[in-house]
Amino acid sequence: MKLIVGLGNPGKKNQDTWHNAGFLALDEFKKNKDWPDFKISKKFKAEISEGSEIEEKIVLAKPQTFMNNSGESVKALVKFYKIEPKDIWIIHDDIDLPLGKIRVSQNSSAAGHKGVQSIIDQLGTQEFIRFRIGIQPESRGQLPTEDYVLQKIDKPDTIKQTIENIVSAFELALMNGVSEAMNEFN
């Protein structure tokens, strides 16, 4: 069983912002699958869709706790489903990666990402898998990171291609393992 969590912020005003790249990736993954629509789960503080891929049960989750408290939702899901860290995949934006780049990593620090730090704090480990979506612009002037990530995406074609790439990376990881995805996409 795998828990695939896309990080973002709930609400209409946060749709299509850089910080919601994780939500966008899960939507793209589910789009071509015969899976149920996302449904809100108060128990998990998340929107959930369950299905299977390559004979493995998969829970897709979009925490509704806001980014900085994502760990609350992830901890509830992990506890309920009894999921090992190696089977937890977190998909999120990464301001330190150039726009359009993706990275797959395991056992890495939060590197300043507050949503990832919340998960590490709640789970007491950083052993999970991360699928990072680069959102760093060529130039953003003096705009603080906190303001930039909450702006509407202004490069829709680039982010669409990047989202498709990250979905390909976790589909490959599901089929052939995370190491294969790292070798192919990093």
What's this model's pTM, rounded to 2 decimal places?
0.95
Q: What is the mean pLDDT of residues 79-92?
A: 97
| pLDDT(18) > 80 | yes
Q: Is 66 annotated as a binding residue?
A: yes
What is the C-alpha separation between 5 and 126, in angstroms, rounded? 14
What is the C-alpha separation between 130 and 183, in angstroms, rounded? 14
Residue type, 30: K
Q: Is 92 a catalytic residue?
A: no
Contact in structure between 139 and 168 (CB atoms under 8 Å): no
Out of 4, 5, 7, 19, the active site residue is 19
What is the structure's pLDDT at 34? 83
Could you tell me the domains of the chain? Answer: 2-185 (3.40.50.1470)
